[in-house]
Amino acid sequence: MKTEVLPIHSSVLFEAATEKAATLLDCGEIVALPSETVYGLAADALNTSAVRCIYEVKQRPANNPLIVHIASRKMLQTCVREWSDVAEKFANAFWPGPLTLVLPKAKCITHAITAGLDSVAIRWPAHPLMQAVIRRLGRPLAAPSANLANQLSPTSAEHVLNQLDKRIPLIVDGGLSNVGIESTVLSLCGAAPTVLRPGVIHLEALQAIDPSTRNLDALSKRKNSKQPQLSPGLHKKHYAPRARLKIHHWDSTSNLLKAVEAFGATQSRTCIICHEQIPSAETFSRVSVIPHDPEAYARALYAELFVADQEKPDLILIESVPDTSAWQGIRDRITRASSN
Ligand code: TXA
Ligand code: MG
């Protein structure tokens, strides 16, 4: 299959890409679309075989449910069974935007999307292209991040092409994603609003809307993330060699050099990603400096990891980040990446 990449930097191109994407989706195809968080791999949410196709292409375990993307109140009503005052408050505060709400699902949302759960994750994305495609199709879009399972989420069309070339018919190129990490996932199905996945809309911002909002405690999080093993055929691919990633704090270049040695790597085969302590040694394979600001950091993180990984280094060493609410989404992503 040839993968077409369509830009959207003029109104004529935007219109053509919207039309092409909506037409393919209407025929049950899956396409990669830009969103403000990361690129999504989209299918018509009401077409079960198209939804199944997402799992196949991504090699995603069948028990990991998908987010349903909407672009109107009317669409929202068709997807959820209950809509509380609390849900209304969160939606008013953060939609369209990088917040996903988990709510009791309506009948039209199949188990293929929810992985058998009675709840559905809903997001109203802020990206104009994604909104335009949803409106043109007239139906919600099921869309996980447009990467192969367990690999880096894409924040550019190039990242998507790198993983999904020849596997999907279309990638719409909307440039770099503005938020840069995946949405905050907030469950409204329990006694209190619970953050299942932290993101740039952080705990304190959510507590300003509802003070009872809490983080999922570490223990239940661990239980939740225990996915059954993939089928043996896919297993190898998921664990194909990729750069080892470590998080570390250093307060001088000499400290950093000692750490690289302790991790068993050589300087020339190590990529550094830092935000405060910029090393003076020029012998590293690559040094990426990301601004010390959580929003700017989130925007740049995956792109920097992508280029670092392209160098095929022995080690990617990331400078540790602050332990505050605003950095929680970033801490979560780099910690996951380091446990691979
Ligand atoms: O920013 C984003 O959220 C991007 C863009 C494309 O919207 N999408 C994304 O999708 O990151 P994905 O599939 O990579 O992550 C979806 C997350 C997973 O952690 C999944 O377990 C959770 O949402 N999720 C989906 N449905 C759920 C449900 N019913 N209950 C609990 N968690 C759910
Ligand atoms: Mg993902």
**SS3 of residue 200 by DSSP:** coil
Ligand 1 atom having least distance to the Cα of 67: 25
High-pLDDT (> 90) share of the chain, %: 89
CB neighbours of residue 134 within 10 Å: 27
- Please state, rounded to an integer, the average pLDDT across all residues of the chain: 92
Say how many Å lie between the CA of residue 294 and the centre of ligand 2. 20
Say how many Å lie between the CA of residue 328 and the centre of ligand 1. 17
CATH code: domain 4-220 is 3.90.870.10
144 ligand 1 Cβ < 6 A: yes
Residues 6+ apart with CB under 8 A from 43: 25, 28, 29, 30, 50, 51, 53, 54, 141, 142, 143
Residues 6+ apart with CB under 8 A from 19: 136
**Mutation test residue for ligand 1: of 68, 99, 100, 172, the one with most atoms within 8 Å of CB:** 100
Give bridge partners of residue 6 from the DSSP assignment: 172
| Cα distances (angstroms) measured from residue 268 to each of 31, 96, 324 | 39, 44, 33
pLDDT confidence band for 242 (50 / 70 / 90): confident
Q: Is it the case that residue 75 has pLDDT exceeding 50?
A: yes
In the chain, CATH 3.90.870.10 sits at 4-220
**SS3 of residue 187 by DSSP:** strand
194 ligand 1 Cβ < 6 A: no
Listing DSSP states for 137-185 in one string gives HTS-EE--BSS-TTSPPPSSHHHHHHHHTTTSSEEEE--S-SS-SPPEE
Residue nearest to atom 13 of ligand 1 (CA): 144
Q: Is it the case that residue 282 has pLDDT exceeding 90?
A: no
35 ligand 1 Cβ < 6 A: yes
Say how many Å lie between the CA of residue 230 and the centre of ligand 2. 16
Alpha helices (H) along the chain: 11-26, 48-58, 73-79, 85-94, 111-114, 128-137, 157-164, 203-209, 218-225, 232-238, 253-262, 294-310, 328-338
In the chain, CATH 3.40.50.11030 sits at 245-337
145 ligand 1 Cβ < 6 A: yes
Ligand nearest to the CA of 151: 2
Ligand nearest to the CA of 153: 2
**Topology given in CATH for the domain delimited by 245-337:** Rossmann fold (3.40.50)
Q: Is it the case that residue 297 has pLDDT exceeding 80?
A: yes
**SS3 of residue 13 by DSSP:** helix
Q: Are 36 and 179 in contact (CB under 8 A)?
A: yes
CA-based torsion, 150, 156, 158, 164: positive or negative: positive
Nearest to 335 by CA among 218, 164, 215: 218
**SS3 of residue 118 by DSSP:** coil
The predicted structure's pLDDT at residue 233: 28
140 ligand 1 Cβ < 6 A: no
pLDDT confidence band for 220 (50 / 70 / 90): low
CA-based torsion, 111, 147, 39, 194: positive or negative: positive
36 ligand 1 Cβ < 6 A: no
Q: Is it the case that residue 240 has pLDDT exceeding 70?
A: no
Q: How far apart are the first and last CA of the chain?
A: 31
The predicted structure's pLDDT at residue 339: 83
Give bridge partners of residue 67 from the DSSP assignment: 121
Nearest to 145 by CA among 158, 160, 130: 160
The predicted structure's pLDDT at residue 314: 95
Q: Is it the case that residue 92 has pLDDT exceeding 60?
A: yes
Mean pLDDT of 12-26: 98
Dump pLDDT digits (tens) for 301-327.
999 999 999 999 999 999 999 999 999
Dump pLDDT digits (tens) for 160-192.
999 999 999 999 999 999 999 999 999 999 999
Nearest to 21 by CA among 126, 183, 127, 141: 141
Give bridge partners of residue 142 from the DSSP assignment: 43, 68
Ligand 1 atom having least distance to the Cα of 66: 25
